[in-house]
Amino acid sequence: MKVYKTNISKEYVPDWEPRNAIRELLQNALDDPSTFEYCFREDKLDITSKGVQLPPSVFALGISGKRNDPNAVGEKGEGLCLALAVLLRAGHEVVIANQYMLWTPKFEYSEDFKCDILVVEEVIPDQDMSDLCYNEDFTVVVCGITEDLKEEILHDCLYLQEDLGEVREGERGRVLLDTPGKLYVGGLFVSEIHGQKYSYDFHPKYLPLNRDRKSVDTWDLATNTSALLEEVFPPKEVAQMAKARVRDVGFYHIGPTNPMSRGEAYKLFQEEHGKDAIVVADYLDKKKLARENPNLNLNIVVISDTVYRQMIEQSEEYKHNLEILTSACAEGDNRTPVQMLEDWFNDDNQHDSEFEELIELFKERGVSWDE
């Protein structure tokens, strides 16, 4: 019998629970290109990678064959050891059949470290001693699976769920239309994303995770969510979601970038406010624009929502129409600089910054103080 010793103590990753450990085992199986199988039987869960044999180096921290694989969720080279330690600590018996070898993890007191550490015993059983060995598969058997733990396992892995409802797939991943506010990466549950209309399952190369698989960078999440929605929904529906302030589209103010989606947003704006409407961010901007163009009856619309407004402003048709309206404004304001200054002075809400803008406007129009 061989014994592989690790330097992982019983207290390692104290915040991990059995569901986190089993998620790690499932992730390892899903990351491998081989066929993945699972089976709940009585109080046991079998997780099998068909045609796979792993070397003992899997018990050495930092050794990973997935480090440069953009499609793999795990790459740290410690997932199997962590999973075994957590399961054993929680009282679960674990047996691993590695083709013709049988690995049995357990805790053993170390005189060197003066604490219990994870060790793995390896035996080559007689063929009639194990129905798991003597095939070409790698199978992890976890014992002591309660009904509650089974439900948690099923929740945490989309590949174990029979009915996901309506799903739309894109390059970055897939959108689960019938389930709100859940984030998955590579089919594994990461966290709740409160306020989101849909749930998302991203490919690992687009949304990297930390070791605990419990959090992602919010900026990356916002960018990928908006981009994935543009992949799976028509531009008009994306624009409608932005107008309705669906958080999925404008999370962290990162909006759609497709010119067609922006064009559809401007069409919605025109349908509601007319083709001559100008959009601004707030009422101060509206008042300023009206004050600068007193001779024109401008149709100025305030839209405080950043994403929808920016989609309109970035539409090529809106830019073109705005240029025409701006030219008309410049031609329509025949006030002299003195009249402009008098109007500014008589405005109860005048600010020094607006005076500076007024001077810049004079320069742009080529006026001089002699007029």
Domain residue spans of the chain: 2-160, 167-232, 274-365
- 52-56, 128-132, 196-200: which range is least confident on average? 128-132
Contacting residues for 136 by C-beta, under 8 A, at least 6 apart: 50, 51, 52, 53, 99
What the block records as the tokens of 110 is 């170390």
What is the per-residue pLDDT across 221-273, written as a single tens digit (0 to 9) for each? 999 999 999 999 999 999 999 999 999 998 878 889 999 999 999 999 999 99
CA-wise closest residue to 79 among 89, 68, 65: 65
Strand ranges for the chain from DSSP E: 2-9, 36-41, 44-49, 94-98, 101-110, 115-123, 138-143, 167-169, 173-176, 182-185, 188-192, 199-202, 277-280, 299-302
Select 2-160's CATH number: 3.30.565, 3.40.50, 2.60.40, 3.30.70.
Answer: 3.30.565
Q: Please give the pLDDT value at position 213.
A: 62
CB 322 within 8 A of CB 300: no
- 115-119, 181-185, 283-287: which range is least confident on average? 283-287
Looking at every residue in the chain, the average pLDDT score rounds to 86
pTM (2 decimals)? 0.79
For residues 196, 201, 207, 211, the Cα torsion angle rounded to the nearest 10 degrees is 100
What the block records as the tokens of 10 is 């019983």
What is the per-residue pLDDT across 322-353, written as a single tens digit (0 to 9) for each? 888 777 655 555 566 666 676 666 666 566 66
What the block records as the tokens of 354 is 């607006």
Q: How far apart are CA 66 and CA 62, in angstroms?
A: 11
Q: Please give the pLDDT value at position 347.
A: 67
Q: Beta strands 36-41 and 138-143: pairing type?
A: unpaired
- 52-66, 91-105, 273-287, 294-308: which range is least confident on average? 52-66
